[in-house]
């Protein structure tokens, strides 16, 4: 029996094929539109378990659609679309339970009346599931660490179709693996996080003249090193899109008054190249932006990693990349604080000694010649060669070489052992796929 017919028999009204509107909704993601054999839209963990068992019987790979923001289009196999599992419920002791299909804008809005937040991605439309399973470098990283550092338990459907509650005491190895090991170990239908105070924030942004990037980078480093309470991202945009002003932009958020924030930012506010200042009281939900409508029509050439130290040599390499022959974007994000106080072995995201997260990408036409791509990769190695690891949520590249860069050898070996125990057939192999030991 074809997989679609088998799913429709087991889950009537929940399994869809190419003639159904739900199929079109479930196969479309930020990066494009795929052609799976079927799309299932479950309303419970039991529905998910039933779909997984059918997929296992047919040997069909499973892709999970959470927010649909960072996913790849899927051809063949089964897509489980968690759109209906999107509840957000605040319980006792600042514990909040979030459905695997919720988006971070929903979470921020639900927690805001209580003055709470969970460190999340930069945009409202990013799915809770994908960002969390990949680690989660968010706006509260210095106060709460990664999103996975706030995770206290999860409801997980395994490749065997079992529904498990995983936490530090129940199935602790699985709980360790899903906190940064991606979607390799099952379908997470709900997450329980411990929220932190996120009220009384001041935030906003500063924009600078394009030519003053060297002074802005050095002043930003001084500012973020001086105040662990400050969360900040420095972005340097090239002149590649009319709606995005070229030059350095510093986004900031800090619990406290606007006056305290301005005092912290004094070295940046004193620069003559400052062109725009937008600072004031802000709600956590207002820090999250709307995602772009679709994948940009560009090719990004570069990479990312964790900088143990944002030293002068790394800053000079960043400036060399910005001055290269192609329009180039640079992102620097503060780490340290709570992020660095988590032991390296506590989660698969092991590069806890990092001071800064760094992304560098040249912006090229899709048909850029490979010689130009190779030359830019060599130039960017001046930055990337000084970094540790790769953050999978920001890496569009796939393959074993990326997996080996994402995790230290002992971490990857542990992930492979767990994969072999819970999914030896590799039903879950989309995205950054970890092969079983």
The token pair at 1 is 């029996």
What is the Cα–Cα distance from 319 to 321, expressed in whole angstroms?
5
CB 330 within 8 A of CB 321: yes
Residue 173: CB atoms within 10 A of its CB come to: 14
Residue 200: CB atoms within 10 A of its CB come to: 12
The band of 75, judged by pLDDT with boundaries at 50, 70 and 90, is confident
pLDDT over threshold 70, residue 383: yes
pLDDT over threshold 90, residue 290: no
CB 16 within 8 A of CB 36: no
pLDDT in tens, 134-186: 999 999 999 999 999 999 999 999 999 999 999 999 999 999 999 999 999 99
The band of 333, judged by pLDDT with boundaries at 50, 70 and 90, is very high
Q: What is the mean pLDDT of the chain?
A: 93
Rounded mean pLDDT, 251-273: 97
Rounded mean pLDDT, 396-425: 95
What order of strands is seen across the sheet that includes strand 163-167? 88-90, 95-99, 187-194, 151-157, 163-167
CA 404 distance to own-chain centroid: 18
Q: What is the reported pTM?
A: 0.94
Rounded mean pLDDT, 408-415: 98
> What pLDDT shows up at residue 30?
64
> What pLDDT shows up at residue 167?
98
Query: What percentage of residues in the chain have a pLDDT greater than 90?
Result: 82
Rounded mean pLDDT, 61-89: 86
Rounded mean pLDDT, 299-321: 95
Which of residues 294 and 235 earns the better pLDDT score? 235
Buried b (16+ CB within 10 A) or exposed e, 337-366: bbbbebeeeebbbbbbebbbbbbbbbbbee
């Amino acid at each position: 029996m074809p997989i679609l017919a088998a799913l429709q028999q087991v889950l009537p009204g929940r399994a869809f094929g190419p003639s159904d509107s739900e199929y079109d909704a479930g196969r479309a993601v930020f990066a494009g539109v795929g052609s799976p054999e079927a799309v299932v839209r479950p309303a419970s963990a039991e529905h998910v378990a039933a779909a997984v068992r059918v997929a296992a019987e047919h040997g069909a790979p499973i892709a999970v659609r959470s927010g649909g923001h960072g996913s790849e289009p899927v051809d063949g196999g089964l897509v489980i679309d968690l759109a209906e599992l999107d509840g957000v419920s605040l319980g006792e002791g600042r514990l909040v339970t979030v459905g695997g299909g919720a988006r971070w804008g929903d979470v921020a809005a639900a927690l805001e009346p209580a003055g709470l937040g969970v460190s999340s991605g930069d945009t409202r439309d990013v799915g809770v599931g994908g960002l969390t399973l990949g680690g989660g470098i968010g706006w509260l990283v210095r106060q709460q660490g990664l999103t996975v550092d706030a995770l206290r338990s999860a409801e997980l459907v395994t490749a065997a179709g079992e529904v498990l509650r995983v936490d530090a005491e129940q199935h602790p190895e699985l709980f360790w693996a899903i906190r940064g090991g991606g979607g390799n170990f099952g379908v997470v239908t709900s997450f329980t996080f411990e929220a932190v105070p996120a009220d009384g924030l001041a935030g906003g942004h500063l924009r600078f003249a394009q030519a003053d990037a060297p002074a802005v980078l050095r002043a930003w480093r001084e500012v973020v090193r001086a105040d662990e309470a400050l969360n900040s991202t420095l972005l340097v945009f090239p002149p590649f899109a009319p709606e995005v002003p070229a030059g350095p932009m510093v986004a900031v958020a800090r619990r406290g008054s606007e006056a305290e924030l301005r005092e912290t930012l004094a070295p940046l506010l004193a620069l003559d190249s400052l062109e725009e200042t937008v600072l004031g009281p802000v709600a956590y939900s207002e820090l999250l932006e709307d995602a772009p409508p679709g994948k940009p029509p560009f090719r990004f050439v570069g990479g990312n990693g964790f900088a143990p130290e944002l030293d002068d040599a790394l800053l000079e390499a960043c400036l060399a990349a910005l001055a290269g022959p192609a329009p180039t974007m640079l992102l620097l994000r503060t780490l340290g604080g709570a992020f660095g106080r988590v032991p390296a072995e506590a989660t698969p995201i092991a590069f806890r000694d990092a001071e800064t997260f760094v992304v560098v990408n040249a912006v090229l036409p899709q048909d850029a010649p490979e010689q130009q791509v190779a030359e830019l990769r060599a130039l960017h190695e001046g930055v990337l060669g000084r970094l540790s690891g790769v953050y999978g949520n920001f890496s569009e590249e796939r393959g074993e070489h990326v997996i080996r860069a994402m995790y230290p050898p002992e971490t990857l070996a542990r992930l492979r052992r767990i994969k072999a125990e819970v999914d030896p057939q590799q039903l879950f192999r989309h995205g950054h796929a970890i092969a079983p030991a």
